[in-house]
Structure 1
Amino acid sequence: MPDIHIERSHQLGIEAARAIARKWIGQVEQDYGLACSYEQGQDRDIGHFSRAGIDGSVEVSGDSLTLRATLAGLFASFSGQIEERLRQKLDDLLGRPDGADDDDAYNDKDWR
């Protein structure tokens, strides 16, 4: 099963990052029919999303956002396209211009 792992650093602080994560969760819930939940913590929040063939989470802190997802069935066939859309949407929400470098060693630009 293809796995997606996207990490983004930011300097937004927990409140702004929390607002972005909640907005993202709301969008994927509406756009893709995912069942979503959101658990707010003091220093870290975790949003969960799922439906048949997709299971994942988004973890938010004051300086990072990490998305993990496992794709199965038909979704696994489109894992590359799904991952690219997720990256683009997160970068748009975080205010990162296209082509912005990330200090993450697993940045997709490092592997292309």
Structure 2
Amino acid sequence: MTQISVERKHALGREAARAKAEALVDKLTREYGLEANWQGDRVEVSRSGAKGSVEIGDDLIRVQLKLGMMMSMMSGTIKGEIERALDKALA
């Protein structure tokens, strides 16, 4: 299993960051067939071969993802996509 962890600081405040994270998670669930389960300011995401979470804090968003063997071969690409999506969402 491969672990991906991406953190980004923000100055949006928790509510605005959560709104942006919700839009991002909605997009990712449509594009990649993820299932999302929100619990407060944390969302658990999963699909075959991948499981993780997005946590929204007052000044930080943290994405953690564990990839199964087949998806781990694409870990560099997946991490890059997460970083770009977060940077765009938080800009």
Shorter-chain TM-score: which interval?
A: over 0.9
Shift of the alpha carbon at 1:2? 1.1
Matched AA of 2:31:
D
Q: Which one of 49, 56, 60 corresponds to residue 52 of structure 2?
A: 56
User: Which one has a bigger Cα radius of gyration?
Assistant: 1
C-alpha distance in structure 2 between counterparts of 1:89 and 1:74, whole Å: 23
Partner of 2:29: 29
Which position in structure 1 is the counterpart of 2:72?
76
Q: Are the aligned partners of 1:22 and 1:38 in contact in 2 as well (CA < 8 Å)?
A: no
User: Deviation of residue 54 (structure 1)?
Assistant: 0.3
Query: If the length of structure 1 is used for normalisation, what is the TM-score?
Result: 0.79
Higher strand share: 2
The TM-score, its normalising length taken from structure 2, stands at: 0.96
Q: SS of the counterpart of 1:29?
A: helix
Report sequence identity in percent.
Answer: 35
CA distance in 1, matches of 2:70, 2:30: 20
Once superposed, which parts of structure 1, at least 4 consecutive aligned residues long, lie more than 6 Å away? none
Q: Which stretches in structure 2 are left out of the alignment for 5+ residues? A: none
Distance 1:25 1:48 in 2: 10
Which runs of no fewer than 5 residues in structure 1 stay unpaired?
96-112
Q: How many aligned positions are there?
A: 91
1:1-112 equivalences under 5 Å are 1-40=1-40, 45-95=41-91
Kindly indicate whether structure 1 or structure 2 has the higher relative contact order, using CA contacts under 8 Å at least 6 residues apart.
2
